[in-house]
Amino acid sequence: MINGSGGGTFITEWGYDAANRQRWLKYPGTPTVEQVYTDYTARGLVNRMSASGIEYVQGTAYDEAGRVIQRRLGSLPILETSFWYYGWADVNGRGRVGSIDTHKLSAPTGEVQSLHYWYDVVGNVSRVSYGTPDPEAPIGRSYQYDALDRLTRVNLMSPGTPYLLESYAYAETGNLVARYPEGAPGYDYGYGAQAADCPEGALAKAHAVVAAVTLTYGPTTYCYDQNGNLRRQVIGGEKVFWFDYDAENHLVGISGDDAATFVYDADGQRVKASFGSAPNITTVVYAGNHFEQRTAGSVISSVKTYFAGGVRVAMRTQTETSDVLHWLLSDTLGSTTTAAGANGELVASAFYEAWGETTPVFGDLPTARRYTGQTHDPVIAGIYYYGARYYDPALGRFLQADTIVL
């Protein structure tokens, strides 16, 4: 990849078999070249992934419908993930994932990940439970919906009696207008004309939030341009953030009380991002989804991500003096919930709230690929890059209009 962004040149190579399946992937050679091979089952499904001296995926088992029922990670193997599904005729499951459990196989053995799911008759998730290292910690969430399948209530499932965590209200237009956290004042969302002092004046867009009070931000106002892009965010009347875009409506910069810049290639994919202000700037260059080069001060690190059948299973962070491997475990949405060390020991686990906010359970996740597997950017309170636009989990809204509509 030669992107002209000042990030350098990164060469990735792929090889395919006679059935046009990816047979191998050669990562950019920073600091070392690594070629990862993929083997398939007789049915053409991903079975193993290996490189010189290591098996990233030691084996994969599938049911008759082609769904993964077991995946073993590591050469020994080190971790084993089991998937259980509801029966096709089960009215509260209809073949959906019922549980994901991962165990460390080498001594000391133990549970690393445990997720269990329940559904209502129309397929909405009604409850999620998860294991944690702390037996006294909350163990899940339950969800309630209205007749239009909109989320109206989230309950915290504790070791004792479940209690309300947050409830929601909607306008006739379908816009979220209020959030009611337990033990805190209600948080309102306002729509209509934005403030007259906005860069584009008092524009009125039917579904754009122009004022909100949230648990993360407090009182906040928002301004948009004619294309529906967020241009200004003012938190508490004090912190001001400006958002700049190119001619194709790509977010290229955030300034004010925080700073970030973004560069895109000719296809609109992000190839470079910088966060922070001098002298504390972190720059990330992206070569697809599988490779990143990070520069923070004088430290340059390469981050390789390994996928098995489209599922993120591991990451390797390398510098001139270190090489750290983490196993990555996900939920049904592809959100990274658990990271384990090279030997399978638990490093971090997290839970995601209804709108994508992260609730740490143990440690700090080493990967930026978090909610729904998207890239978490450390700017403002944390926003997500979704490829075509950006999402703010604290607000529960995208910063830009749907590009299909544009």
Q: Which amino acid is at 50?
A: S
pLDDT at 30: 66
Q: What is the mean pLDDT of each run of 10 residues along the chain (406 residues)?
A: 65 96 91 91 98 97 98 97 98 96 95 95 94 63 96 86 85 94 82 96 94 88 97 95 97 98 96 95 96 95 97 97 97 98 96 93 95 98 96 95 74
pLDDT at 216: 82
pLDDT at 91: 93
Q: What is the largest CA-CA distance in the chain?
A: 64
pLDDT at 143: 96
pLDDT at 385: 98
pLDDT at 368: 97
Name all contacts of 326-331 with Cβ < 8 Å and 24+ positions apart.
326/366, 326/367, 327/73, 327/74, 327/78, 327/79, 328/367, 328/369, 329/79, 329/81, 329/100, 329/102, 329/112, 329/113, 330/373, 331/100, 331/115
Has this prediction a pTM greater than 0.85? yes
pLDDT at 2: 44
